[in-house]
Structure 1
Amino acid sequence: MKISELAAVTQVPTKTIRYYEQEGLLPEAKRSANGYRYYGQQDVDTLIFIRRCRSLNIALSDIRKLVEVQKQPQGCCSVVDDIIAEQLAKIQQTQRELAKLEASLTALITCEHHKIQDCSILQRLKQAECC
Structure 2
Amino acid sequence: MPVACLVAGAYVARLAVMFTLAWTHSVAKSEWQEDWRATPGGLVLDAVRVEGSGAGMEPPDDAVREGRFYVAHPRLPPQREVLLRRSGATADWRVCMDGSCRPMGALLPVDLPPADADPVRLIQCE
Q: The TM-score by the shorter chain falls in which range?
A: under 0.3
Q: Using CA pairs below 8 Å that are at least 6 residues apart, which structure has the higher relative contact order?
A: 2
- The structure whose residues are more often helix, as a share, is 1
From the CA coordinates, give the structure whose radius of gyration is larger.
Answer: 1
- The structure whose residues are more often strand, as a share, is 2
